[in-house]
């Protein structure tokens, strides 16, 4: 039996293993690019030649480290509420007894 046949029988993987090291800032950039311009997780993963699950795992890890928040891209706009409307909202609703 040849050496190649023995490797195949043992289930060895032939070829170059491809492992890449990603720094947190690179991970964060990739995670935050989801949704930009309508890009889905699948599209971002394909663009960076990684699996979708990797992006989800990075989200989880970055959130645990305090480096990413799902609310990071949320914008709050000021809302002006007229005083009269605010007074109506602030008053409790009174119902006649026995109406419930």
User: The domain that contains 42 carries what CATH number?
Assistant: 1.10.10
State yes or no: pLDDT of 69 exceeds 60: yes
Q: How confident is the model at residue 71 (pLDDT cuts 50, 70, 90)?
A: confident
Better-predicted residue by pLDDT, 8 or 97? 97
Give residue 53's domain range: 20-71
pTM beyond cutoff 0.85? no
Q: What pLDDT score does 92 carry? A: 62
Q: Which residues contact 68 (CB under 8 A, 6 or more apart)?
A: 28, 31, 32, 59, 62
Domain assignment present for residue 43? The answer is: yes
Domain assignment present for residue 54? The answer is: yes
Counting the structural domains of the chain, the total is 1
Q: Which residues contact 67 (CB under 8 A, 6 or more apart)?
A: 24, 28
Mean pLDDT score, 37-56: 95
Q: How confident is the model at residue 4 (pLDDT cuts 50, 70, 90)?
A: low
């Amino acid at each position: 039996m040849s050496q190649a046949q023995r490797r195949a029988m043992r289930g060895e993987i032939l070829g170059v293993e491809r492992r890449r090291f990603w720094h947190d800032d690179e991970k964060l950039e990739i995670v935050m690019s989801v949704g930009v311009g309508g890009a889905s997780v699948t599209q971002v993963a394909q663009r960076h030649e990684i699996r979708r699950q990797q992006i989800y795992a990075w989200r989880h890890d970055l959130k645990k480290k305090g480096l990413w928040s799902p609310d990071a891209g949320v914008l709050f706009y000021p809302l002006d509420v007229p005083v009269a409307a605010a007074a109506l909202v602030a008053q409790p609703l009174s119902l006649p007894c026995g109406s419930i």
